[in-house]
């Protein structure tokens, strides 16, 4: 918990996924777990409200992640997981809430975020600052979203 002192600052608290990013192992996975209640709460806003909330979380994340990265002295420090929260929200846009959809979105998002297929890996290596921290997770969320909607349209996911 080397960076636990950062949790006193509300901006760092958010960037660190309410503290979930300080997990000693797999902070991105813990950050995505922290996103589940956020998704459930945002779903109460209806589809358009969810989309607006996702855009706000993503745009604000550019500043938050850049701010915390600068304070930590490292671009995209593993403890910064606000990007996972935003990416998971993207993966759940217009997806009906159920334990199955939450789980499939979680698994797909983590796969895309870890493996980083092209163009995710390309942007992850070449884009810096808060936008660079956010963009790979937004793209991982979009890839997950496309697959989830395909599964829903085929009736393979309810």
pLDDT, averaged across the chain: 94
CA dihedral over 111, 117, 119, 123, signed as positive or negative: positive
What distance lies between CA 44 and its chain's CA centroid? 19
Token readout for 126 is: 């070449």
pLDDT the model gives residue 95: 98
Question: 158 versus 81: which is more confidently predicted?
Answer: 81
Taking a C-beta distance cutoff of 8 angstroms, is the pair 94, 129 a contact? no
Question: Is 109's pLDDT higher than 70?
Answer: yes
pLDDT the model gives residue 56: 98
In DSSP notation, 83-101 reads HHHHHHHHHTTT----HHH
Token readout for 88 is: 């998971």
pLDDT the model gives residue 5: 78
pLDDT the model gives residue 1: 52
Tens digit of each residue's pLDDT (9 = 90 or more) over 6-46: 789 999 999 999 999 999 999 999 999 999 999 999 999 99
pTM listed for this prediction: 0.94
What distance lies between CA 66 and its chain's CA centroid? 15
Question: Is 133's pLDDT higher than 60?
Answer: yes
Residue matched to tokens 């996911």? 157
With DSSP H G I counted as helix, E B as strand and the rest as coil, what are the percentages for the chain, rounded to 5? Answer: 75, 0, 25
Tens digit of each residue's pLDDT (9 = 90 or more) over 64-75: 999 999 999 888
Residue matched to tokens 């499939």? 104
């Amino acid at each position: 918990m080397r960076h636990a002192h950062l949790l006193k600052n509300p901006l760092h608290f958010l960037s660190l996924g309410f503290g979930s990013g300080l997990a000693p192992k797999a902070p991105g996975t813990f950050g995505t777990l922290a996103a589940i209640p956020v998704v459930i709460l945002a779903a109460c806003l209806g589809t358009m409200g969810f989309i607006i909330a996702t855009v706000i979380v993503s745009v604000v994340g550019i500043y938050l992640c850049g701010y915390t990265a600068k304070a930590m002295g490292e671009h995209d420090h593993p403890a910064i997981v606000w990007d996972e929260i935003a990416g998971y929200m993207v993966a759940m846009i217009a997806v009906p809430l159920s334990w199955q959809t939450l789980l499939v979105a979680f698994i797909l998002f983590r796969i895309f975020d870890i493996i980083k297929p092209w163009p995710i890996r390309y942007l992850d290596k070449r884009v810096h600052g808060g936008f660079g921290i956010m963009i790979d997770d937004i793209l991982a969320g979009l890839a997950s979203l496309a697959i989830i909607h395909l599964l829903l349209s085929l009736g393979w996911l309810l």
